[in-house]
Amino acid sequence: MGLAACISSIFFINCSAALVTVKNSTIKGEYLAWYSDGLTLINCRIIGTQPLCYCKNLKLIDCEMEGTDLAFEKSEVQADILTPLW
């Protein structure tokens, strides 16, 4: 998925795909990647409400979060986030 500049939330809603890596992308929408397993985001910009909830083995590396709220609910996450979380 590294070629994508902007990925719609439709791709990630209730995604059951495992071991997906997204690089250098902007991901925008509500309820991003709920219930994903093994998702890795590298150098990504994440925009939207309630992203990345109920995830297993979630990794964020050098990512930015903009306008997000209620993120990571009940998720197993390892994160290096470059922006403050509100």
Is the torsion defined by CA of 34, 30, 82, 19 positive or negative?
A: positive
Q: Coil, strand or helix: which one is 61?
A: strand
Task: Please tell me the predicted confidence (pLDDT) of residue 1.
Answer: 43
Low-confidence ranges of the chain (pLDDT < 70): 1-17, 86
Task: Please tell me the predicted confidence (pLDDT) of residue 84.
Answer: 86
| DSSP annotation string for 38-50 | S-EEES-EEEEES
Question: What's the whole-model pTM score?
Answer: 0.82
pLDDT tens sequence across 50-61: 999 999 999 999
